[in-house]
Amino acid sequence: MLLAPLNLAIAVQNLSVHQDYKEGATRFLALAPVGNAAKEKWIYACSLQPITKMRMTDILVATTDETACPYDPDLLKQHQPGKVVKKFPGNGQYFFDMDDNNDDQKKRRHTGDNPERKRREFDPENCWFCLSSPTVEKHLVISVGTHCYLALPKGPLTPYHVLILPIAHHQAVTRVPEDIIEEIKKFKEALKKFYSSMGQVVVFFERNFKTSHLQIQCVPMPKVCESQLLEVFQDEAGINSIQLEVLPPYADIAQVALPGSPYFHAELPSGEQLFAKTKHTFPLQFGRDVLSSPPLLNCEDKADWRQCLLSREEENEYVIRFRQKFKPYDFTAEDDDDSD
């Protein structure tokens, strides 16, 4: 809670949608001087939530008295969080150091959407998900097959949320050899049976955008959510201006996506597939945003995995419990005694 007992303007950042982009907006609350004779409101309490934790639907609620931003949108777009900016009363720009403009453009050339930028190369030694990498967190590994493995994600949405990952370094399901595809399918079928035994259905999704190592998220959810899944995905896509195509169960994602192009792909319990080409921007937590929303898992605080990290002990517990329960469905353990 924030109290503003002085003659202050409180700025609350909001986003508003313009024709082809979303732009930050600021909401001001004007307060009268403290103890003014007219007894006008001079104190205001408000509960502020960091914008990174807000749902897009809340952020996009328009105000009735919105006015256009007085600053040049091109300059605003160059703003980089954390950048120290100077105040230059002379040129009327309070947010940006105009003299720093060239420097900004140079930086954008390296970090922005410039097609000429150097493609980042990934070193499997430093990959979080290559099973042979020294940086992989081995305690999260649940089951290892011939080409793929199952692992607990960091900050799982539910206790049985897991990832299917290739053991070697591959970027996307559209770019892996057939034997890996086959084993991914095998893991999916095993997981469907496993979740079904607990009365749950599963949503699989992959975001091939700003990821280096293929990860298929497998999120179990109560059967009652099944009928709403498509609608909630479409609503959230609409809010984010994402064109989400619904593909029939037999469609092959590798045939739909252009070779090497980034995309988002989900597979619903009905078998229907959702596919979106990702452009310059795509909400990185889109799949989690949808599944954590109130009509579905109703755990919005977990939409961002970084906000719901488990302790090492909890991670160990989750992995052990998953392994034990999954054992009858785990084809990689067929040679083991699975009598329990």
By beta carbon distance, the residue nearest Zn ion is 127
C-beta of residue 205 within 8 angstroms of C-beta of residue 216: yes
Intra-chain end-to-end CA distance of the chain, in Å: 53
DSSP 16-27: EE-SSSEEEEEE
Q: Minimum distance from CB of 14 to Zn ion (Å)?
A: 38
Torsion angle, alpha carbons of 271, 277, 282, 287, to 10: 0
Q: Minimum distance from CB of 318 to Zn ion (Å)?
A: 22
Binding region for Zn ion (CB under 5 A) out of 11-19, 82-90, 128-136, 285-293: 128-136
C-beta of residue 205 within 8 angstroms of C-beta of residue 217: yes
Torsion angle, alpha carbons of 101, 103, 107, 113, to 10: 30
Cβ closest to Zn ion, residue 173 vs residue 290:
173
**Identified binder of Zn ion from the candidate list 31, 127, 218, 303, rule CB under 5 A:** 127
Report the SS3 class of residue 74.
helix
Phi and psi torsions of 315, nearest 5°: -60, -45
Q: Minimum distance from CB of 152 to Zn ion (Å)?
A: 17
Cβ closest to Zn ion, residue 214 vs residue 229:
214
**Identified binder of Zn ion from the candidate list 147, 161, 169, 192, rule CB under 5 A:** 169
Cβ closest to Zn ion, residue 169 vs residue 265:
169
Cβ closest to Zn ion, residue 130 vs residue 202:
130
What string marks each residue from 69 to 108 as x (binds Zn ion by CB under 5 A) or -? ----------------------------------------
Cβ closest to Zn ion, residue 124 vs residue 328:
124
Cβ closest to Zn ion, residue 127 vs residue 319:
127
C-beta of residue 154 within 8 angstroms of C-beta of residue 115: no
Other CB atoms within 10 Å distance of the CB of residue 196: 15
C-beta of residue 284 within 8 angstroms of C-beta of residue 303: no
Q: Minimum distance from CB of 305 to Zn ion (Å)?
A: 18
Binding residues with Zn ion: total (CB under 5 A): 5
What string marks each residue from 200 to 219 as x (binds Zn ion by CB under 5 A) or -? -------------x------
Q: Which residues, 6+ apart, have CB-to-CB distance to 307 below 8 Å?
A: 53, 155, 301
Q: Minimum distance from CB of 174 to Zn ion (Å)?
A: 16
Q: In a 10 Å sphere around its CB, with 0-12 CB exposed, 13-18 middle and 19+ buried, how is residue 318 labelled?
A: buried
Q: Minimum distance from CB of 274 to Zn ion (Å)?
A: 25
Is residue 130 at the binding interface for Zn ion, with CB under 5 A as the rule? yes
Work out whether the CA dihedral 234, 308, 159, 156 comes out positive or negative: positive
Other CB atoms within 10 Å distance of the CB of residue 138: 8
Phi and psi torsions of 57, nearest 5°: -60, -40
What string marks each residue from 299 to 338 as x (binds Zn ion by CB under 5 A) or -? ----------------------------------------
Is residue 150 at the binding interface for Zn ion, with CB under 5 A as the rule? no
Cβ closest to Zn ion, residue 127 vs residue 276:
127
- Contact residues for Zn ion, defined by CB under 5 A: 127, 129-130, 169, 213
